Each structure stands twice: as structure tokens, then as C-alpha cells.
Amino acid sequence: MGRTVLILGGGTGGVVAANVLKKVLPARDRVALVDRRDTHLFLASLPLVATGRRRPEQIIRRLNRLEGSKVQFIQAEVEEFLPDSKAVRTDQGFLSYDSLIIALGAEQELAPGPSPVFNPYDLQGAVLLSQELAAFRQGRIIVFISSLPFPGAIAPYEIALLIDAYFRRRRLRSKVDITFLTPESRPLEFASPRYSRRLTAIMEKRDIQVLTNRQVQSLAKGHVLTLSDGDLPGDLFIGIPRHVGPAPLRGSTIADPSGWLMVNPTTLATCLPDVYAIGDAAGIRSPAGTYIPKVGFFAHYQAEVVARNLALGYANKEPRFRFVGGAKGASMLTSFRQGCFVSVEAYAAPPKLALSAPNPAAYLTKILFEQYWLKSWF
């Protein structure tokens, strides 16, 4: 009898897992992918939406394009994990599985009620920010990271640098101050100090003031940020929201006290049989004890590992693929012409994250990768 692999989440990890399983599973087996949205959003391009370089429809793809003889897409909200009956409850009914891949990403925790803080980590927030930036002509912009860990290790820095490039192009930069706040002890804390210094130098050369060890507590009267060590007035606030583990799994046996899912760092298996967690939802610790960065290329590689090992297991072969915590060739945009290459060795002791000097090839690599992603997986 055929088996069912249930994938929760149609983001980076879920889309890769479904595509790989489509190729490697025997014809009798099935893949069901569930997401609350009917579209996949290529999150890495949100900074380009925020700075007016992409329209939303350019960075989304309909998830039903994954469907085929083996893959079914189900639009539903995942509400509860029921490991004893190997099932999940959704708002569309119960779904059972033989193997489960959890790829629900990190959940954003937002302050209730209307917020004067723009959220560039959300499609609608990025569109609103692009409109606000277009109308902004002078004053202080504050970009801040609310808490650690957050997805896209380099993304907040990229957003600040692209905003700088945006105002330089409009010849308004001399009238716009940009301040960057992070709770990290140094920019890209996961990087070796040399690369933190490199990033700080890139930011300062572009007149972006970087303040580390800063914890934002609230925004008073819409124009003063309250920090743990004082107040900071501004005119436009861009906040990376606090992120937490996925709600349906929080408090389950596979979640750690912070809500991130505990997995074997090389196989992504949880402590429950036939249950795997990949991507941002997983809380993997580096040898230094900190969470490894929550980045798309890790979600991608982890999905490959789990999908290929599942197919081997179903064929009664020994699973042999391993996630090694490394990646090369990713990039962070520093302007609309240049970027830095980023490489990570998260399982090294000490963990490493390196950053090249800005160059046009890194910019081109990121743009080509975006095009490749949106074409080849859908």
C-alpha cells in the first residue's frame, strides 16, 4: 500500500521537499502539502518590494502549481499536532500521515492593534513601507531588530543598506538619517568578529549609525522609541518583529522551552518516530550554544536531506544524506548594483559566518537566484 508524506508549510523548506519527493518517491506513494495561503512567497525579495524594485505579483507563485500525480496541495490552517494518532487537525479537517515534515517557519509576534511600526517581513508591510518611503523626504529612519533569533540573518542589514541606496538615488540622502538598532552584541553576531567589523564598516561608510546591544521596548506617541537605556526619537520606524516557534507545535514534546522544534542536527529527525522539522521552525544549536541562523539556504538543504532519506527508508535502504550546517554562495545586497557573498559553517567550533567585500557579482548572483527559484520549483 502507498504511504503518505504530509508536509506542513509551503515556504522554502516545504516547496523543496515536495519537489524532491515528487522525483524520488515510488509512484504508489503520495505527498500532501498544506499551507494557510494559496501562494508561496519568496521572502528574500521583500527588501526589494520595500524599496520599490519588485511588485508583489513578481515574487509569489501559486502553490497548486506543485500539484501532479504524486503531489496534492491543501489550503488549510494547521491547528493541532496529534502525534499519537499520526495526524494533524486543520480548519478543513484531519490529515493523517506515515511521515511528517514540519516546515511551518517562524511565527511573527506583533503588538496588538494598529502599529506605527512598518514590518518589512510581511508582504503587505513591505508594500506599505514602499509607499511610505516614496513619500518620505527628510527626517530620521530607525531600522530595528526586536529580538533574537529572527529569520534571514542578513536581511535587516540589507534593508538598511537598500534604504540608503534608495535615498541616494533620489538625491535626498543628506536630508535623511538612518539609524540601525540590534540586540546583538555586534552586527551578525554569528560571524567571526572580523566580519562583524567589515559589516559595521560598510554601514558606517554609508552613514548608517549602528547601535548594538539595544533592546526596543515600545514606541511612545508614535515618534519616540523606548529602549532599555533611554529614548530615541525618529520619524519612520521599521521593525523586524519578534519571532517565535509555530503555534500548533508550541508546548508539544518536540518543542524546546522557547517554542523552537528540537531535531537531530544532521538528520532533522525529532524525538517522535517519522516526524521531521526543517527550516526556521527548527531550533538547532551551534557548538557555541546559540541557535544557528534561520536562513533559506539551510531550509533548502535540510528539505533535500529529509526528502532523500525518506525515499531511501521507504525503499528499505540506509538513509545516508546529512545536513552539515554549511552554505556558500548566498549574498546580501548592499545597493542596487552590489552585494556581499555570505558563507556559513554553523557546525564548526567556533561557528563561522564570512562576508566578502561588496562587489557586482554578488548582486547579480542574488538576482539570478531569485529568478531561478521562482521558475524552477513551480
Kindly list the residues in this chain that would bind ligand FAD in the complex (CB under 6 A): 9-14, 34-37, 43-44, 46-47, 77-78, 103-105, 121, 151-152, 155, 246, 248, 279-281, 294-297, 299, 330
Distance CA 65, CA 280 (A): 23
> What's the residue count for the chain?
378
Least CB distance from residue 220 to ligand FAD, whole Å? 26
Residue with cell 519588485: 54
What is the pairing mode between strands 352-355 and 230-233?
unpaired
Q: Which CB, 121 or 347, lies closer to ligand FAD?
A: 121
> Which residues are CB-neighbours of 92 under 8 A, at least 6 positions away?
74, 75, 76, 77
Least CB distance from residue 285 to ligand FAD, whole Å? 17
Least CB distance from residue 12 to ligand FAD, whole Å? 3
Q: Which CB, 1 or 22, lies closer to ligand FAD?
A: 22
Least CB distance from residue 101 to ligand FAD, whole Å? 10
Torsion of CA 54, 162, 155, 350, to 10 degrees: 140
Using CB atoms within 10 Å of the CB of residue 48, give its burial: 0 to 12 exposed, 13 to 18 middle, 19+ buried: buried
Q: Which CB, 181 or 327, lies closer to ligand FAD?
A: 327
Least CB distance from residue 279 to ligand FAD, whole Å? 2
Least CB distance from residue 280 to ligand FAD, whole Å? 4
Q: Which CB, 145 or 219, lies closer to ligand FAD?
A: 145
Using CB atoms within 10 Å of the CB of residue 270, give its burial: 0 to 12 exposed, 13 to 18 middle, 19+ buried: buried
Helix or strand run (H / E) with residue 140: strand 139-145
Q: Which CB, 14 or 351, lies closer to ligand FAD?
A: 14
Q: Which CB, 74 or 181, lies closer to ligand FAD?
A: 74
Using CB atoms within 10 Å of the CB of residue 289, give its burial: 0 to 12 exposed, 13 to 18 middle, 19+ buried: exposed
Give the residue at shortest CB distance from ligand FAD.
11
